[in-house]
Amino acid sequence: MRSVRVELQRMVSPIHIGFGLLERMPELLARHNLQGELVIISDERVAGLYGERLLTALGAAGRSAHFLRVPEGEGAKSLEQCEVLWRKLISGGFSRSTIILALGGGVVGDLAGFVASTFLRGVRLVQIPTTLLAQVDSSVGGKTGINHPLGKNLIGAFHQPELVCIDPALLATLERRDRLAGLGEVAKYALIRDRALFTLLALNLEALTELAYPELCESIIETSCTIKAEIVSADERERGERVLLNFGHTIGHALEAAGGFSHFRHGEAVIRGMAGAIWLSRRIGRLSRAEAQTALDLLTRLAPPAPPPGLRPADLLAWMARDKKRGPEGQTWILLEGVGKAFITREVAEDLLPPALAFACAGEWRAP
Ligand SMILES: NC(=O)c1ccc[n+]([C@@H]2O[C@H](COP(=O)([O-])OP(=O)(O)OC[C@H]3O[C@@H](n4cnc5c(N)ncnc54)[C@H](O)[C@@H]3O)[C@@H](O)[C@H]2O)c1
Ligand SMILES: [Zn+2]
């Protein structure tokens, strides 16, 4: 088992990574002194796949748990589902010593995390992420939240988990498409911070997609969590360096929105967004063509789907203008000056955006 520590001002969030950790949950809860009533929140699909196994493991250690299911999919990140969960917790008589275990992908993690941050002004949270995206990204850093009819992730809270338990074996039942989308976020960490991770990914992409080498899977998840933890620890409330994690996300979010949040997986939109950001890095003269092409070749192998037919750059520009991370001084861009080296800039001329968006949407990526 591998371990990463996310050190924040008020607490340390330990992250444990290892094949078979789901069965070892009772041991990990005990090790971190997590006594209290347990409430597992999961979606229908993950509950069907892994709910019994978690309950059995806990039961064998003499710990019972209440199981609350929410519907599958992004729609569950709603005030309506919060209300259902709050109601069950209140009517079930749960106290401040309750520990909420979020068993699922980013949707369950965000929703259950937000419920944990608000119920009785905050109860303890344990993340058990079951998608690659959740294992390398959403379960780390303490952001929780739900969607609002006017926009995604607009309502939420920072609420650090007491513990994150990552069992890569759970990824075996994930669709290949979701594994590739999650590897998109791993590629993001590699491109902004870690050339060695990039090389590891490039050399082993097929094996990683198929979970062929457990050691290697654990290692890339560990490296990804470490990079995210380092950046988040330095900037818990997203005022400075944390924006580096948004590499590929400005265009990515616009693509997700333009696809009605159903056409692209988050990671797939980010893969295309990173290609757009690489194009911009090239055009403003900060990245060599060779480096750009090396990065684009890996993104190509992650095989993001084509954009929905009829998508126009003007629509994407309109979505980008609505991005909540756009400050009063205009859009902040995270661009590359090399594989493993990102920088922050506002110096991107508006007229470069339509061609950058067209590039992000292209069927083939040749560095300009
Ligand atoms: N809080 C953060 O910092 C942060 C960061 C990135 C993304 N997010 C959020 O994460 C969400 C996306 O997360 P996601 O991609 O994990 O989506 P998801 O949670 O909807 O999971 C995708 C699908 O996979 C299924 N699934 C989950 N685990 C499985 C498994 N082991 N085997 C088989 N099927 C499984 C789910 O039931 C679901 O149908 C978005 O709402 C996004 O806003 C949050
Ligand atoms: Zn992301």
Whether 2-173 and 183-360 share one fold: the answer is no
Contact indicator for 40, 65 with CB cutoff of 8 Å:
yes
Q: Which of 172, 223, 166 is nearest to 14 (CA)?
A: 166
Position 77, amino acid: K
d(CA 89, CA 297): 49
| pLDDT tens column, 77-132 | 999 999 999 999 999 999 999 999 999 999 999 999 999 999 999 999 999 999 99
> In the chain, what is the greatest distance between 2 CA atoms, to the nearest angstrom?
63
Domain ranges of the chain: 2-173, 183-360
As annotated, the active-site residues are 121, 143, 185, 228, 238, 242, 246, 249, 253, 266
Flag whether pLDDT at 165 surpasses 90. Answer: yes
Give the pLDDT band of residue 8 (cuts 50, 70, 90). low
> What number is the average pLDDT over the span 12-41?
96
Q: pLDDT (tens digit, 9 = 90+) per residue, 144-164?
A: 999 998 888 899 999 999 999
In this structure, what token pair is assigned to residue 305? 């789907």
Pocket test for ligand 1, best of 143, 178, 185, 237 (most atoms within 8 A of CB): 178
Structure tokens that stand for 96 in this block: 């401040």
State in Å: Cα 120 to ligand 1 middle.
26
Cα–Cα distance between 247 and 177 in angstroms, integer? 21
Using most ligand atoms within 8 A of CB, pick from 46, 49, 127 the residue to mutate for ligand 1.
46
Q: How far is CA 198 from the centre of its chain?
A: 18
d(CA 251, CA 17): 31
Residue type, 20: G
* Single pTM value for the model: 0.94
Which of 212, 214, 364, 350 minimizes the C-alpha distance to 297? Answer: 364
Class of domain 2-173: alpha beta
Mean pLDDT, rounded, of the chain: 94
Q: Which CATH superfamily is domain 183-360 in?
A: Dehydroquinate synthase-like - alpha domain (1.20.1090.10)
